[in-house]
Structure formats: C-alpha cells, structure tokens
C-alpha cells in the first residue's frame, strides 16, 4: 500500500505542476497510468465485487446530482 501512496503523491505533484502551467501533460498521463496499475493491484487484495458495488452506488449518486 505504501507504493500506492507514493504513486498518488507523484500524480498530485504532476497535476499541481500542470494546473500552474509548468507541467507536461504527458507526465500527468504517465502518473495516472501508474496509479491505475496500483489500484488494480489493490483490487486483488480487497474485495473486487464490493469495490464494484460501492463504485456503482457512487456513480449513481453523482448522476443524480449532475442530472436532477
């Protein structure tokens, strides 16, 4: 899990640089890919079915907020 935290930190840094117009969009994409890979590894550790259930509920809630 420490690796996921590290990758998320690197993504945050890349996003902050990009947001302040000092960053490269390719760096953001690379860090996003790293975070996605680590998240997939976390799915193997935690219950992927439950993750999908929670994700579905959150997406439904978001849809209701965006399209009342």
The predicted pLDDT at position 23 comes to: 84
Domain residues for the domain of 6 are 2-66
Q: Is the dihedral of CA 6, 19, 63, 36 positive or negative?
A: negative
**Mean predicted confidence (pLDDT) in 7-34:** 96
Overall domain count for the chain: 1
In the block, residue with structure tokens 């193997």: 44
pLDDT reading at 20 higher than 90: yes
Classify 47 as helix, strand or coil: coil
**pLDDT class for 2, splitting at 50, 70, 90?**
very high
Give 14-26 as a DSSP string.
HHHHHHTT-S-HH
CA 28 to chain centre: 12
Question: Tens of pLDDT along 42-65?
Answer: 999 999 999 999 999 999 999 999
């Amino acid at each position: 899990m420490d690796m996921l935290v590290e990758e998320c930190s690197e993504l945050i840094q890349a996003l902050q640089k990009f947001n302040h117009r000092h960053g490269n969009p390719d760096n953001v994409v690379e860090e996003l890919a790293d975070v996605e890979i680590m998240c997939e590894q976390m799915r193997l550790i935690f219950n992927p079915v439950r993750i999908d259930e929670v994700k579905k509920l959150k997406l439904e809630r978001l849809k209701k907020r965006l399209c009342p």
